[in-house]
Structure 1
Amino acid sequence: MKHLATLLELRFNPEFSFGPEGKHVRDGLSTVLRTGDYLWVSCDERTKVERLKKTGEYTYAEHTTFDLTEYLELPDGNNSEIDIEGMGRAGGYLWIVGSHSLKRRKPKSKDSIEKQINRLTKVKNDPNRYLLARIPLVENPKTGEFTLQKSCPDPENGGKTLRAAQLVGTSTTNQLMEAVANDPHLKDFLPIPGKDNGFDIEGLALHENRIFLGLRGPVLRGWAMLLELQVEDAEQEGYLQLVPVEEDKRLYKKHFLHMSGKGVRELRIKGDDLYFLAGPTMDLDGTIAVYRWPNAIPRTAKGEQVVHRKELEHLFDVPHGSGMTSGQNKAEGLAIYDDNHLLVVFDSPSALRKPEDDVVLADLYRISGGK
């Protein structure tokens, strides 16, 4: 039941695949979503999302890229990364979330010891990271092709228009960050970079009008967190605002899960269940696993939840880099591939995952109900 079923081959077009610093999109995959015969993936160091089409039983190709600056008002345009860490589909939209995290500079071995030590004191804020947005996701009824548009008629409601929009914010914050600024569990971690166990969103899932955001960090004494919120259109066209989700007018709910000290890397909804890709909060090689929280959707509708280890089903561990491949094969994206399989994509794939130029291999896992 819990074994690797097969490998999927993802073929990228080199014309679209290299960032301004020369990094190939296949080397930084952070999330994955399937819609029909198409896979949507993103590289965390870009302001774009990538679309691949199924061209064979285990192959996706015909790579197309979508520049998000054509649909959204990014504070820094194409000048800094969004650090996309989650994508989802609901209500005729593709939803996207950035990490909302700070990052600490890395030492460079070519520099002097003094300069390397000094770089570790530098914490950077990327303006585009504070993004929670939706973009109309349009399916051609004749060809099944999915594309993005800035606005379009709602195919389910002819009198309604679907419009791209994003949560109200600035280059240094947004309404979500302001809402959690004084949260007793989160406030002390907001000034800390993500890979230092600071505040770091990784994972987005949607159920009707409910938005779930997974936190890679902080993890508190082994407990990971899941934020739940709802949005509505703001008065200014192209923007969204949070709405209360609790009787006390709070703009978010928190759910706590004990995944043996791991934080959330990705989350998905299947039926009434939530699936989690979980791994270390810090920048290290460590166990990465997939968990299922049964009946999570009806449970969370009743209020905030605390989910102990015995209430989570550990489905399987995902292999990660170690030894000669230390720092590689970091599972970052999880998708519901079909009724019987989950799809996992990797950041920093090893050479074995790159059998050809512009190609990377993703993992397909069989889950309960598969044959």
Structure 2
Amino acid sequence: MKKHLTLEFDEKQSYNQAGKHVRDGLSTSLLLGDNLWIACDERSSLERLTRLDKETFGSHTSFELHKYLELPGGKECEIDVEGMGFDEHYLWIVGSHSLARKKPKKKDSMEKQIKRLAKVKDDPSRYLLARIPMIKNKETGEYELHKTCERPDIPNVKLQASQLVSYGDKNKLWQVLASDMHLKPFMQIPGKDNGFDIEGLALSKEKIYIGLRGPVLRGWAMILEVEIEESKSEHFKLKPIGENGEFYKKHFLHLEGMGIRELRVVGHDLLILAGPTMDLDGTISVYCWKNATKQKPEAIVHRKELERLFDVPHGSGETSGQDKAEGMTLYDDNHVLIVFDSPTDKRKHGDNGVKADIYKL
């Protein structure tokens, strides 16, 4: 059984340069206290909503990420934020790290539409793994982002916005994965073509879990596990964690052909929002991987070792391509809140609102 929440955005802060409203492209969400943090896949900002009552979040504030981080593509470049997490006074974000194929436009000539399908876009700001200090304002009760600040619980300790070191127009994560025996063939394929595409980020102490929407290999999805070397500068490095000094571990999960859309840690378990890797209508489900954070070697998890909790309805027929569950956050100990990309008119509320769904675990 599910119930709804209404998310109300401020019209003046809600449109990108292309005229797309933030509610039409929600990609990830994170609830901290009375603040719901949301990212849109075609912006270079994060959105904060505040709980107004039991059924509504509003008081929209937009935070431009170029004020805190060094964006390789400049402040107007699309980041495609696809995952958020919070740990030790830091908000973590990850970009899709993916290529994007152009969409044909029906108003164009047949020749132009065909040419657009041959064009692939590569935005350098998508290759972003970063953390930004986030502190709760004692007077307002709101969580706020900072470029630098003092750690509130430990005197004389400074928190610094930082990001994974880059080499050229790609970061270190992309660089090390580009030679991986499973991922190498997919690194130059756009995400919507079952190419490499990050969606989902979760934190457990020093461990960082990164979900891959694609590629899916014969029905098997992948979760990457990385750790970082602490740094006082604006850039951090990956820490060798593999048996042979690799900078990452790969965990394979049989999600019955689905890729990963979002990750959340609950105790030692990992909640997984899973859905189609390709651009199509298909089953969207929430799974639980028990004791995921206790895994030491790389894991291969068969379908019977995963608990399928529930399915999430999606658009079909006249609403094909709409109501695609993209973001999932813990609402309380027993529920998750799910937000949707490309909402149907029925899901929209007024000129600037949209409904999110709460599901019992």
Same fold (TM over 0.5): yes
How far apart are 1:110 and its partner, in Å?
Answer: 1.6
Bigger mean CA offset, 258-267 vs 166-175: 166-175
**Which of 355, 360, 371 lines up with 2:354 in the alignment?**
360
1:45 aligned onto 2:45: no
Distance in 2 separating the partners of 1:56 and 1:234? 40
**What SS class does the counterpart of residue 158 from structure 1 fall into?**
coil
Partner residue of 2:242? 246
Aligned residues: 361
Q: Which amino acid aligns with 2:355?
A: L
**Which of 315, 325, 330 lines up with 2:319 in the alignment?**
325
Distance in 1 separating the partners of 2:352 and 2:49? 13
Deviations 1:187-210 (A, max 9, x none): 000000000000000000001111
1:77 aligned onto 2:74: yes
Deviations 1:153-197 (A, max 9, x none): 111221210000011115631100111111000000000000000
Partner residue of 2:165? 168
Deviations 1:241-292 (A, max 9, x none): 1011123111000000001000000010011110000000000000001001
**What SS class does the counterpart of residue 349 from structure 2 fall into?**
coil
Distance in 1 separating the partners of 2:76 and 2:14? 17
Partner residue of 1:305? 299
Distance in 2 separating the partners of 1:62 and 1:122? 39
Q: Which amino acid aligns with 2:329?
A: A
Partner residue of 1:62? 59
Bigger mean CA offset, 155-164 vs 23-32: 155-164
Partner residue of 1:270? 266
Q: Which amino acid aligns with 1:49?
A: L
Bigger mean CA offset, 162-171 vs 26-35: 162-171
How far apart are 1:297 and its partner, in Å?
Answer: 1.0
1:193 aligned onto 2:187: no
Q: Which amino acid aligns with 1:158?
A: P
Structure 2 runs not aligned, ≥5 long: none
How far apart are 1:23 and its partner, in Å?
Answer: 0.5
Q: Which amino acid aligns with 1:341?
A: H
Partner residue of 2:152? 155
Partner residue of 2:283? 287
> 1:76–1:171: 8 Å Cα contact kept in structure 2?
no
CA RMSD after TM alignment? 1.1
1:256 aligned onto 2:252: yes
Could you say if the C-alpha distance between residues 195 and 162 of structure 1 is closer, same or farther in structure 2, counting changes exceeding 3 Å? same
Q: Which amino acid aligns with 2:54?
A: E
**What SS class does the counterpart of residue 352 from structure 1 fall into?**
coil
Give the 5 Å matches for 1:18-37: 18-37=15-34
> 2:72–2:169: 8 Å Cα contact kept in structure 1?
no
**What SS class does the counterpart of residue 185 from structure 2 fall into?**
helix
Identity within the alignment, %: 59
**Which of 190, 208, 213 lines up with 1:211 in the alignment?**
208
> 1:152–1:163: 8 Å Cα contact kept in structure 2?
yes
Partner residue of 1:99? 96
Distance in 2 separating the partners of 1:127 and 1:11? 31
Q: Which amino acid aligns with 2:227?
A: Q
**What SS class does the counterpart of residue 26 from structure 1 fall into?**
helix
> 2:6–2:349: 8 Å Cα contact kept in structure 1?
no
Could you say if the C-alpha distance between residues 171 and 31 of structure 1 is closer, same or farther in structure 2, counting changes exceeding 3 Å? farther
1:184 aligned onto 2:178: no
Partner residue of 2:136? 139
**What SS class does the counterpart of residue 159 from structure 1 fall into?**
coil
**What SS class does the counterpart of residue 204 from structure 1 fall into?**
strand
Bigger mean CA offset, 62-71 vs 103-112: 103-112
TM-score, normalised relative to structure 1: 0.96
